[in-house]
Structure 1
Amino acid sequence: MRGIGEMARDGGLSVSALRFYDRAGVLAPAWVDPVSGYRWYEPGQLDEARLLARLRRAGMPLADIRLVLAGWAGRDTDLVRGLLQAHLRRLDLGLSAARGEFSTLRALLDHRETDPMTSLRTATATVRLSVPAPELAAALDAVRFAAGTDAELPMLGGILFDVEADELRLVATDRYRMAVAAVRTTGHDGPRTQVTVALPLADAMRALLTGQESVQLGVDGDRVTLESGDRQTSGRSIGHEFPDYRRLVHLPAGRRVRVGTAAFRRALEAGPVRAGETREPGGEPYDLSVLRVAADGTVIVCADGDDDQHHVAVNREFLVHALTAGARDELILELGAPTAPLAIRRPDDERTFSLLMPVRLED
């Protein structure tokens, strides 16, 4: 018999993935210790685990994987071959359709780049404004965790500095979460200006913000500079358009619940989790926390079996990061529909908040 750790190592799956596939009825252990709950697998299940890992990397749905594994165990090679061929046909058709859509999108982009009425251009205005150092430091701390690291999406690998009237908004997103913070400014009376600051430069800026005085933020074309007394840091902005975040933050009102940050974080870290689907092909499943609002207005971390279509599932690690970035003893969780983002807000500052994309639970 193999323990779950040994099975994960030899089968090419993580421990959390094996737990997920057990709960999904795809690959159940041969025996579960009734006291510890530890899972044990028979030697013959190793081939099934390796097959499962390959099928998931190929993007086969779990419903079909169940049939493949059943056919594999019963030596029904015709069934297995048929399911593999059907999935390959779906992939070919999907790729053909995707190529057609991308061809149309490229044509639309070419038109947008050559049409002066619709072209999106990086701002080249010269802007200089004054920002209180503590407020800018707090704003950077509030959004830094949500910045992207995907090399294929360089426009998300930084923090948007959005200057309009007497306010500076900082925004970061990696597609699965978004954080927004606002800072009051003085000295700017020009048009709205946006620039995306790369994370290394944003971190260098944060290191300068150690005092209580105001600092000077300057934008000159694609160069961004922060001056604090006789110290300064500067660098080029990211030369890609940041998504229009304003279209993403206007959400239908959900149910607002005030939580004690430390206690709720402990409940998350010690509470039950479920393994979520991978976000990328071949990636590792991640821990989900499933939340519901009880009758007394408290937020409950749901255990297995406590299922309801109105519960909201989110990446637990992302939620813990958002609670830390909220930097308040109490925060407000705003839960809407299960398909709507979960909002984490400050009771005393509605302009600073985080959004977490919900995760659909596997049927």
Structure 2
Amino acid sequence: MTDPELMSIGAFAKLAGLTASALRFYDDADVLRPEQVDPLTGYRFYSESQLVRASQLRRLREIGMPLPDIARFFTVSAQDAARLIDDQVAKVAAEAIGVQRTAAALKASLGEGACLNLCVLPGPVLATAVDQVLATTVRDAEVPVLGGVRLEADPDAISLTTTDRYRLATRTLVPSRPSAASWAGTLAGDDLQATTSRLRRTLMVTLEAGERTLGFRMVDGAVMHCRLLTEGFPDYRLLIGSLPAATHRVTVDKQQILKALEQQAPEKVGLRVAGGRPTVLLPGSTVDLDGTATGPDLTLWFELTTLYPALSHALGSDLMVDLRGPDQPATIRSANDGDLTTLVMPCRDPAP
């Protein structure tokens, strides 16, 4: 006899947010077997305790997880199950990026009228510049333009600029051939990142601006397209122009300060200026840096996740850091080459 506490397939399907046909399919696939099957009628019956698994199954299918992985999900530990979810999300995200790139190429193939040839740049140099500024982008569903890269061209230079509200990076390149005209647009960061491996392998690349995309034409004639974002990019020139004059200037060896941060990887890092010498403050220790410092005694703190990328992507072996106090951005650039400039905001003193 059927247990009276069991539910019919129709009642269970309604509670689980699935269809009866889906439940039959999952039974046949051995990922959600009914609690009981009537031997005479073949009717399937389910228990209330199976609702949790049914709900998980429905959500796993919503993120596109294949049935073999779903079967594993219900047999492994919670940690491994979480890893399966993360792997599936990464796969879906990668597929979405691929679809966006393909769509951009298709739109470009429809014809945007005459493209504007902006300039010619060495591929490896452009790829490195993209890597340097992309560290200052962020994924923000409310402000998607913060994941973009502002590209501005004029006859003498090409500049790439990014910001995530707490940092700002701008990289200037001198084209091999002067820009034919002034132009500005905001490139989708994901699309731009996808071009870097190909850019590194091409000697020269021509930038071609269209109505909806920016094309990167390789020496073999192949073109990679990067979508242009329509949202307005933050007015970074206003931010830079409104900065007060620096009160302190610190010049240090890049590798020494990076090594100090890598050995402990603290959540927050202190930079102290005292007696004309710079010092890094770490949990339980201090590191005297080889370098110079101007200005009165001062200690500022930075989040490691904000400071380290700015330091590591800086050009050259020496860094110049201009400080303006605890409530103003610090400017980080190469002591010998100011083509890459990064602004980073200090954080609160971690001391109680």
Does residue 347 (structure 1) correspond to residue 335 (structure 2)? The answer is: yes
Shift of 1:271: 5.6
* 2:270/2:282 contact within 8 Å kept: yes
Residue 249 of structure 2 corresponds to which residue in structure 1?
256
What residue ranges of structure 1 are gaps of 5+ in the alignment? 1-123, 274-286
The answer to whether the 8 Å contact 1:310/1:338 transfers is: no
Q: 1:296 to 1:310 in 2, by over 3 A?
A: closer
Deviation, structure 1 residue 246: 1.1
> What do the CA deviations read for 1:136-188 (whole angstroms, capped 9, x no partner)?
12211221100121111111111111112221110111101111100112342
* Corresponding residue SS for 1:207: helix
Query: Which protein has greater RCO, CA pairs closer than 8 Å, 6+ apart?
Result: 1
Aligned-residue sequence identity (percent) comes to 28
Q: Which residue does the alignment assign to 2:185?
A: 195
1:350 is aligned with what amino acid?
Answer: G
Aligned counterpart, 1:297 = 277
Q: Which residue is 1:219 aligned to? A: 209
Aligned 1:52-201 pairs, distance under 5 A: 126-185=116-175, 186-191=177-182, 193-201=183-191
8 Å CA contact 1:131, 1:214 repeated in 2: yes
Q: Return the letter of the residue paired with 1:176.
A: Y
Structure 2, unpaired ranges of 5+:
1-113, 287-295
SS at match of 2:240: coil
Match of 1:239 in 2: 230
* Alignment deviations for residues 31-88 of structure 1 (CA, whole Å, 9 cap, x no partner): xxxxxxxxxxxxxxxxxxxxxxxxxxxxxxxxxxxxxxxxxxxxxxxxxxxxxxxxxx
Return the alpha-carbon distance in structure 1 between the equivalents of residues 142 and 185 of structure 2.
Answer: 19
Q: Which deviates more, 164-173 or 309-318? A: 309-318
Secondary structure of the 1:350 match is coil
Spell out the pairing of 1:203-214 with structure 2 (5 A cutoff): 203-211=193-201, 213-214=203-204
Shift of 1:200: 1.9
- The answer on whether the counterparts of 2:205 and 2:217 sit within 8 Å (CA) in structure 1 is yes
| CA apart distance, 1:272 | 8.8
The 3-state SS of whatever aligns with 1:195 is strand
The aligned amino acid for 2:301 is: A
Matched, 1:325 2:306: no
Q: What secondary structure does 1:146 align onto?
A: coil
Q: Is the 8 A contact 1:333 1:345 kept in 2?
A: yes
Q: Whole-Å Cα distance in 2 between the matches of residues 294 and 134 of structure 1? A: 41
* 1:127–1:220 CA contact under 8 A, matched in 2: no
Deviation at 1:218, TM superposition (A): 0.9
Alpha-carbon shift at residue 292 of structure 1 (Å): 1.3
Partner residue, 1:312: 300
Q: CA deviation at 1:224?
A: 0.8
1:203-235 deviation digits (Å, cap 9, x = unpaired): 122112224732101111121100121232103
Distance 2:225 2:285 in 1: 53
Q: What TM-score results when the alignment is normalised by the length of structure 1?
A: 0.56
Counterparts of 1:210 and 1:267, CA distance in 2: 31
| Equivalent pair of 2:316/2:336 in contact (CA under 8 Å) | no
1:134 and 1:209 in contact (8 A); partners too = yes
Gap change, CA 1:133 and 1:348, over 3 Å in 2: farther
Residue 237 of structure 1: SS of its match in structure 2? strand
CA distance in 1: counterparts of 2:202 and 2:117, whole angstroms: 23
How many residue pairs get aligned? The number is 225
CA distance in 2, matches of 1:323, 1:305: 20
2:261 aligned residue (240, 262, 268): 268
Partners of 1:202 and 1:357 in 2: how far apart? 26
* Equivalent position SS for 1:318: helix
Q: What SS is found at the alignment partner of 1:326?
A: coil
Instruction: Tell me the C-alpha RMSD between the 2 structures.
Output: 2.8
SS state at 2:141 partner: coil
Name segments (4+ residues, structure 1) moved above 4 Å. Answer: 270-273, 302-306
**Structure-1 separation of matches of 2:265 and 2:153:** 42
Contact 1:155/1:238 (8 A) holds in 2: yes
C-alpha separation between the residues in 1 aligned to 2:173 and 2:265? 37
Superposed CA deviations along residues 232-256 of structure 1, whole A, max 9, x for unmatched, are 2103211111111111223323422
Gap change, CA 1:272 and 1:294, over 3 Å in 2: farther
AA aligned to 1:348 is: N
SS at 1:265's partner residue? helix
- Tell me which amino acid in the other structure corresponds to 2:279: V
